Structure 1
C-alpha cells in the first residue's frame, strides 16, 4: 500500500523515514527501496526547515529528528523544491511553519532582504508561488524583480523570433531600383550580355538590376497558447507569457494566452504585458485540458489559419476522451494542434506519456521545446 505525494508514491517505510529523519535510517534501511532519490530530496527539504529546532540535530514538534548536516538550499530553491515534491496541503503547512514558526521571511515578507536578492529565473518561480503570502510593500518590490527577469527573457527570445520571422530576399523578384547591398550581379550580367563590346572587351550595363528586399507578409493567423497552471508547470507558465508577448508584436498574428486548471482565465487582453500576466496567474488546482481546448475552438475565426498550442503535463483530471474528441475535431477542420509537455530553457518534461501518445496518434504534434524552438516551429507553420 502506498500513498501518493504529488507525483511521488511513498511506501509506509519511506513515510516513517521522512517523519523520523536521518536517525531512523539504520532501522528502516532494509525496508526502504533501493532507489530513494525523491525521498532523500524530500528529507533534505524537511531538514532544511525543521532541523532548526535546537540546531542541525534538533527535533521538531512531531518528534522528527533533523539530519546531521545542514542542507545547502537558498530560500527560493527551497520554495521551488517543496512545490515539486509535496502535495498542496503539505506545501501550505511547510510555508506557514517557515514564516510563522521559524520567521524565515526572506523573499516572502522581508523587504530589505528582497531588495538585495539578485533577480533570476529561480527567484521568479519562487515569487509566483508565494506572492499570495506577500504584503503590499513586498509584492510591489517582487513585481520589480519579476519585471527585470522578464525583461531579460524577452530580450533573449526576441532575437530568436526575429531570426525566425525576419524577411528574406525573393530572388525571383527583381527591380530597376535598389540599394547597393541589393545589387543582383549575376542577373545584371546575364540581362546585359547583348550590350557586350568585343572590341573593348567591356560589358556595358544599361540597366542594373536589384533584388527586391521585402519582408515576409503573414496572412492573418491566430495562435492560442493554452497553459496548464498547475504548480509543476510554473516554468512553462513563465515562458509562455514571455513568448506570447513577443508574438504579440508580429504583424498579421493575433495571439491568445489562456491559463487553465479546472477553470479558464483568458489573459489575451494583457498578453502585451507579461509582468501583469504572471502576477495574475494562480498556480495550483486541478486540470481540465479538454475544457481549455473547447474554449479555444469557440474563439477560432478561420480554422485553417489557426494554431492551438496546449502546454501541459497531460495528467488530465477530467474525462480524457473529451480532450481527445476536441483535438480530433480541431484537426479535422484544418487547425494545427501542438501539445507541449514543457516550454522552458531545459525542455525536460515529466508528463503522461500514454495520453500524449494518443494525441499524437490523432495527428497532433507532441513534444517539448525551448521558447526559441517554439518560435522556429511557428514560423515554419505560418509561412
Structure 2
C-alpha cells in the first residue's frame, strides 16, 4: 500500500532536484521512500533534454541511477499507486520508446531468467505483442522450473515422514544424512596435517511414510501489486502440492474480485499468465469464497496470503475468519510467501485475525511445506 504524500513532497517529485535551490525545505522533503520515488522518476524523466511540457530540465538525483528496465518496472509498482504506474509505463513506451522488455525480442532473448525479470514480465504482459508473449512464456517457464525443482525437494522431505534410523535409503537427501555412520566409516581418510576429513562413503536414513487423511488446502492469494513475489511462489507451491496423495489443492487469486485458478494449478506458467497484478483489495470476499469451497471443515486448511490491508470491511473479515476457526478449519495468514519471507503488512489487522484464532506469520515456500506437513500429519 502506497502512503499518501504531502503537497511539498509531491511538488518536489514533480520538479526534481532543480527545485531544491528555489525552496530551502524541498531538499529535506524526501524520506527513504521519497528518495526511491525520485530515483525512479529521474530514471525516466531525467532523459528528457527539453523537459517536455514543463519546459524544465530535471536535474540528476543525489546519486547516479543504476536501475535496469526490469528493476524500474518493479520499483514503480512498489512505490506508486496504480494510476501513476499506468502513466509512467505509458510515458516510458510512448514518449521515450523504452520498449526493450515489452517489444524488443533481442533484449528479452538475452535476459537472464530470474524472479525480478519474471515480475516485470507479469506486470507488463498486457502491453506485449503476441510474438513477445511467446518469448515471455519461455522465460516464465524457466524461472518456474527452477523454483519447482527446489521446492519439490523440500516438499518431498516435509511430507516423507519421520526419520527411521533403523533403515537406510538410496535417496541422497541432506536432511537424512547419517552423520555418525559417515564419520565412523571415513575416519581412515582423516589428514592430521590439514585437519580435514575426506568423505568417501555416504549413507542416508530412510523415512517412514506419513499416513495422511484426505485434506483440502485452499490458497488465497492477494494479487495487488505489492504481492508479486508471493503470487509467483504461491503458484509454484500449489503446483507442488497438487501431486501429493491425500491433498486436494485450490488456488484462488483476489483483489476486489475473486478468480478461481484451480483448473490451472498443474500448469503454473499458464496460471501466472492469467494473474492481473494491481487493483484494490477485498480480503473478506476471498475468505467468504473459500468458506463455500470447504467440504469437511475439520479437514480443511485456508492459507491467506496477503498484506492484510483490507479495502472492504475489516469487521466482516474478522467475522469470517472467526467462523472458519469455529468450525475447526485451520487458518494460516501469511504476510509474505517468498524466498526472503520479509513481510510488509498491516500489523493491527493481522493481530485481529490472531485474536480470532488464526496463525499469522511470514514463510518461505519450504517453511510452508513443513507447516502443512505437520498439520495434515496429525
Shift, 1:33, TM fit: 5.1
Shift, 1:219, TM fit: 0.6
> Equivalents in 2 of 1:43, 1:381: separation in Å?
46
Q: Select the residue among 8, 11, 14 that pairs with 2:9.
A: 14
Shift, 1:27, TM fit: 3.4
Shift, 1:65, TM fit: 3.3
> Equivalents in 1 of 2:225, 2:168: separation in Å?
53
Shift, 1:102, TM fit: 0.9
1:159-198 → structure 2 map (5 Å cutoff): 159-168=153-162
> Equivalents in 1 of 2:75, 2:169: separation in Å?
57
Q: Deviations over 1:264-303 (max 9, x none)?
A: 1111111111111000001112111111111111111111
Q: Does 1:257 align with 2:257?
A: no
Q: Deviations over 1:9-54 (max 9, x none)?
A: 2221111111111111233342565761111111111111111112
What TM-score does the superposition give when structure 1 sets the normalisation length?
0.85
Shift, 1:70, TM fit: 4.4
Q: Deviations over 1:206-238 (max 9, x none)?
A: xxxxx9974212110000000011111111000
Three-state SS of the structure 2 residue aligned to 1:61 is helix
The residue number in structure 2 matching 1:231 is 225
The residue number in structure 2 matching 1:60 is 52
Summarize the Cα distance change of 1:179–1:103 in structure 2 as closer, same or farther, 3 Å threshold.
Answer: closer
Summarize the Cα distance change of 1:34–1:15 in structure 2 as closer, same or farther, 3 Å threshold.
Answer: closer
Three-state SS of the structure 1 residue aligned to 2:25 is helix
Q: Does 1:116 align with 2:110?
A: yes
Summarize the Cα distance change of 1:102–1:164 in structure 2 as closer, same or farther, 3 Å threshold.
Answer: same
Shift, 1:339, TM fit: 0.5
The residue number in structure 1 matching 2:330 is 336
> Equivalents in 1 of 2:169, 2:266: separation in Å?
37
Structure 1: which 5+ residue stretches go unaligned? 1-5, 182-210
> Equivalents in 2 of 1:346, 1:367: separation in Å?
13
Q: Does 1:152 align with 2:149?
A: no
> Equivalents in 1 of 2:332, 2:161: separation in Å?
25
Structure 2: which 5+ residue stretches go unaligned? 171-204
Number of residues paired by the alignment?
341
Q: Does 1:91 align with 2:85?
A: yes
Bigger Rg, structure 1 or 2: 1
The residue number in structure 2 matching 1:47 is 42
Q: Deviations over 1:348-382 (max 9, x none)?
A: 11111111100001110011111111111111111
After TM superposition, the runs of 4+ consecutive aligned structure 1 residues lying more than 6 A away are 178-181
Summarize the Cα distance change of 1:64–1:9 in structure 2 as closer, same or farther, 3 Å threshold.
Answer: farther
Three-state SS of the structure 1 residue aligned to 2:53 is coil
Q: Does 1:365 align with 2:339?
A: no
What TM-score does the superposition give when structure 2 sets the normalisation length?
0.86
Summarize the Cα distance change of 1:149–1:217 in structure 2 as closer, same or farther, 3 Å threshold.
Answer: same
Shift, 1:345, TM fit: 1.0
Summarize the Cα distance change of 1:380–1:167 in structure 2 as closer, same or farther, 3 Å threshold.
Answer: closer
Q: Does 1:349 align with 2:343?
A: yes
